[in-house]
Structure 1
Amino acid sequence: MMNMVSDDEEKVVAGGQEEQHQEGSTMEIGWPTDVRHVAHVTFDRFHGFRGVPAELMMHAQEEEDDEDLAMVMINKAPSASKTVFGVSTESMQCSYDARGNSIPTILLQMQRRLYDNGGLAVEGIFRITADGNQENQLREHLNAGVVPANVDVHCLAGLIKAWFRELPGGVLDSLPADEVTRCQTEEDCARLCAKKLPASKAALLDWAVNLMADVAEQEKNNKMSTRNVAMVFAPNMTQALDPLTALKYAVQIMNFLNMLIETTIKQRKRSHHHSASSLRASSPI
């Protein structure tokens, strides 16, 4: 049996096919014209932005009342992004600490300001929560690479912890949780870190543990023992998605950090004793 289609129906069908064809077509976008290569700007992890055009430098100085701050924001930008929080260390300006670790420069500046302002001896340092508004204001300064001289030490300490808490991947996330749990001695902790931690995370951990040891050595003044310091830092060193898992794992991380801090303090005492013995041996009788 044959289907008879009228001329009007054929036109409707043909029109529908034509509309579908038009709807399926894409608009062609031409290549850009009148393009001028002004400059090739790169971000150097140890020197900040390089190759910034002179006119942009002048514009930044006009926008910023403090000319020195404007220069810092461009030449010595702490990060390739607009913030120093929540970004990888690969995109941050770094410097070497006294132990040869490559550490984000802004962290070293925060540490120096904390020490210079007597923060290590302040009771409850890294435990007491600072004012939220003050922290937000300080974040803005830190994002510009500036650590104010009169900053509140509790605010500074809180943002050091926040920096680790917001770090993508977490410092200790490379360590298998079951292996962390099995660590019973200081040697176990050291071996696990050497085996599993990437170099960049190992450097951050070493810096952080030495900072915690500096705090714990002032326990007589700040009331922060090795365990207390480990307790306040532990939740900031990993990024578990499940809150319950994070809470349980934080206890293991606390014990892990506590052993590392105690090891560091013991090594310092041995080194100091060895240096003192060598000095006495070399002194004339």
Structure 2
Amino acid sequence: HNKAAVLVKKDMKKMVQAPVLRPRIVAAKHTKLFGASLFELQEKGLVQDGVPLVVQRMVEHLRKHLHQEGLFRVNGNVRAVETLKQRLESDEDVDLLSESDTCTVASLLKQYFRDLPAGLVDSAVQEALIQHYQCGDDDSWSDMRDLLQQLPDVHHSLLRYLCHFLTLVECNHKDNRMTALNLATVFGPSVFQ
């Protein structure tokens, strides 16, 4: 092998390595956060103001990086995302700021919404929203608001929280390149399953 081939091989190894995270410590306490219904999390006391605590932690981290280009577009390392998920579910003390990169946290937030059983907006409300849209009644925002208020409280609260956060992301679209359309493409399929 020549020197260039050796350097390429070393560079490739660096690119595929996961970010440095502490190895998972097997803990006796394990709480399913991803894939659990919002009602289950609420019963366990893992929801504050209608928003799961794990979502609040990830969003607070991401708020510090709203200007990062590729936010939600560039995926985090799969192993790092899975490791972070396991550590959060094992109730480890995880400092997202120092232990995780933004892409990993953004990927995990997307996964949280993908894993929500039946999505964030249930099928009955989703069907009513589609009907409202097909009727072409764009002037009636109050009707849409009334439809969304039919959601269970915890779903409605999380949807409001998510929309508020995504509005902040979109306000920085000149830096992060995430317009409303881009964000809808990323989160829409997870919110409306």
TM-score, normalising length: structure 1: 0.50
Alignment CA distance shift 1:132-1:201 (3 Å)? same
Q: Share of identical aligned residues, percent? A: 26
The structure number with the bigger radius of gyration is 1
**Amino acid paired to 2:147:** L
**How much has 1:219 moved relative to structure 2?**
0.9
- The equivalent of 1:182 in structure 2 is 132
> Where in structure 2 are the equivalents of 1:231-242 lying within 5 Å?
231-239=185-193
Deviation track 1:205-228 (CA, whole Å, cap 9, x = no partner) reads 101101110100111110111121
Is it true that 1:94 corresponds to 2:52 in the alignment? no
Structure 1 residues 164-173 or 209-218, which shifts more? Answer: 164-173
- The equivalent of 2:62 in structure 1 is 114
**Amino acid paired to 2:132:** R
Contact 1:180/1:189, CA 8 A, preserved across alignment = no
Q: Distance in 2 between matches of 1:201 and 1:220?
A: 30
Contact 1:121/1:222, CA 8 A, preserved across alignment = yes
**Amino acid paired to 1:110:** M
Aligned-partner SS, 2:120: coil
Structure 1 residues 144-153 or 214-223, which shifts more? Answer: 144-153
Q: Distance in 2 between matches of 1:238 and 1:223?
A: 23
Aligned-partner SS, 2:121: coil
Q: Distance in 2 between matches of 1:180 and 1:125?
A: 29
Q: Runs of 5+ in structure 2 lacking a partner?
A: 1-24
Deviation track 1:125-176 (CA, whole Å, cap 9, x = no partner) reads 1122221111111111221344433311111111111111111121112414
Alignment CA distance shift 1:112-1:176 (3 Å)? closer
Aligned-partner SS, 1:138: helix
- The equivalent of 1:218 in structure 2 is 172
Equivalent of residue 229 in structure 1, options 166, 177, 183 = 183
Paired positions, count: 156
**How much has 1:111 moved relative to structure 2?**
1.1
**How much has 1:178 moved relative to structure 2?**
5.1
Q: Distance in 2 between matches of 1:176 and 1:229?
A: 18
Contact 2:72/2:103, CA 8 A, preserved across alignment = yes
- The equivalent of 1:134 in structure 2 is 80
Aligned-partner SS, 1:157: helix
- The equivalent of 1:84 in structure 2 is 33
**Amino acid paired to 1:128:** V
Higher relative contact order (CA 8 A, sep 6+): 2
**How much has 1:237 moved relative to structure 2?**
1.0
Q: Distance in 1 between matches of 2:127 and 2:80?
A: 35
Is it true that 1:144 corresponds to 2:107 in the alignment? no
Aligned-partner SS, 2:97: coil
Is it true that 1:166 corresponds to 2:119 in the alignment? no
Aligned-partner SS, 1:175: helix
Q: Runs of 5+ in structure 1 lacking a partner?
A: 1-63, 75-80, 97-101, 240-285
- The equivalent of 2:148 in structure 1 is 193
